Amino acid sequence: MKNYYLLSIALVFSLLSLNAQDQKIIEYPFAEPGTDVSRGVFGTDDRKEVKDAEGYEDFVRATAVMIHKESIYNDEFYSWSLREKIQNKYGKDIEISDDVRFLDQPAIGSCTGFLIAPDILVTAGHCINSLEEANQFVWVFDYTSESEFINDRKLQFEKENIYEVEEVITSIYDDNDDYAVLKLKRKSDRAPYRFRTSGAVLKDGAINTIGSPKGLPLKFATNATVVDVSQSQWFKSDIDSFPGNSGGPVFDQNGFIEGILVRGAVTYDDDWSLTGDYYLDSSCNCIKTVTWDSVKYTAGCQSQRITTIPADALIMSIYSNMAYAIKNNLEDRFNSWYIYSWIFNHNYTNQRGRFENLAIEQNNTYALKQILKLTAESMSDEQARQLIDFATSKNNDEILQILLDSGLLADAGLNSTYTSLQNAVISGNLSIAETLIYHGADTKVKTSSGDNLLHLAARNGSFEMAKLLVKNGVDAGAKNNKKRRPEKVAKKSGHKSLAKYLKKARKGKL
């Protein structure tokens, strides 16, 4: 495996906008991308069980731990406890200081990762750098202190909480970058983290992390701040973290990802090797936790700014989240991702499939209304006509009403052979025709053969449609290119009663 003494924080998305009145920099982290070794404890060890992370329950559920498949046998996970791991390294007779916590918990994990979409997980590049490496591990959710640890050896996890990697979307691990974006083999219904897409993290900002220090069940670390933002690709913090936290989320007080935990401070052990978790203190001949009074003379916990992750990967994640919310009619989930509203008109969306179509397909009227607030005004004539045709093909009058109420023109489709109203008359769809007429569709329109709307209704024998058209002023006496009135077309088509009606309409005898 990789050098677990590396940790960092990448995934940083934010936009800075300048308030002209007071010249203060205001964070706005959700604009479109492109617009303007171990760590240890700093001060008091602020790590706590994730069950005590009140208000962050969704973030706990969206955080996974990487576990080697060699630890699995017959669907059971086998692990040493933290105490045993320390004793295996330093000897069973070594004394362990009281500042070493969680000794009797399992220590099976090797890295941390977190969801940014239903099937997209982010971690550190030094954790996973290729699909070959990814295939050696599983990612387990809900690995907490409440997980059952049987006979100090075995862990059991629900199968639905265990995921494998299908694809490495992007991964890089070098002197400047350390991140990986992975596609899982199936989607999760867990609410993913949201993240920055522009700008930068602010100095002195409060941050938190959730991760698997030394492979332990997930821990929540807080009471930390960003202490250095001078580097273009990294920021530095004083958060408490250990090997195993690598790849974990670093997020602000609102739960938005600022970075990926990757690299941090180390000290010397008794054999002059570098360590960032526990060390042998010669003054007591005991094992202690690596601690720091400040980050001033250490590497601190570094974080790679998330805007360094390829924008395509982030845009893909936002699209995936929005599509998932619409498909599953999840109103709260949709609202939470609506902050990335630029995605609705993005080129990626036009290529993958517009959300208006998806909302119509799923009959998700709430999402459709919200999307149209931002897209209707800028929609092309062709796009508008496609949506109207889609709604009429589904005979969905409610959807059509929403489209037209948003400002789309009932006669959209200048290059189409027939108007939407003509198609509705031809197909005999009365309710659709009524809606289109109510929203201003041209009732005087004619085909290339000179047929007006009554000619079309006469040919199909649609009595109620003919009544609607007469009521809205369509000329019953008009002749087409063959000099035929609607009544003659109706008679020729075998609709005698309709022909009589149209003749009376022409003579004003209704």
Q: How far apart are CA 410 and CA 408, in angstroms?
A: 6
Q: How far apart are CA 341 and CA 144, in angstroms?
A: 35
Q: What is the pLDDT of residue 7?
A: 35
Q: What is the pLDDT of residue 363?
A: 96
Q: How far apart are CA 376 and CA 396, in angstroms?
A: 19
Q: Do the Cβ atoms of 222 and 44 come closer than 8 Å? A: no
Q: Do the Cβ atoms of 224 and 207 come closer than 8 Å? A: yes
Q: What is the pLDDT of residue 489?
A: 96
Q: What is the pLDDT of residue 8?
A: 34
Q: Do the Cβ atoms of 217 and 105 come closer than 8 Å? A: yes
Task: Give the chain's largest Cα–Cα span.
Answer: 113
Q: How far apart are CA 376 and CA 356, in angstroms?
A: 10
Q: Going from the first residue of the chain to its last (510 residues), give the mean pLDDT of each consecutive group of 10, the final group possibly shorter.
A: 35 29 44 55 60 81 96 90 90 90 92 96 94 97 90 88 97 90 97 88 86 91 80 74 80 88 64 68 85 55 66 96 98 96 96 97 98 96 96 95 97 96 96 97 97 96 96 96 96 95 92
Q: What is the pLDDT of residue 101?
A: 87
What are the φ/ψ torsions at residue 378 (nearest 5 degrees)? -100, 5
Q: How far apart are CA 369 and CA 403, in angstroms?
A: 8
Q: How far apart are CA 138 and CA 125, in angstroms?
A: 16
Q: Do the Cβ atoms of 414 and 383 come closer than 8 Å? A: no
| Ordered domains of the chain (ranges, CATH) | 16-308 (2.40.10.120), 328-507 (1.25.40.20)
pTM for the predicted model, two decimal places = 0.85
Q: What is the pLDDT of residue 240?
A: 67
Q: Do the Cβ atoms of 203 and 132 come closer than 8 Å? A: no
Q: Give the pairing of strands 286-289 and 95-96.
A: parallel
Q: What is the pLDDT of residue 299?
A: 55
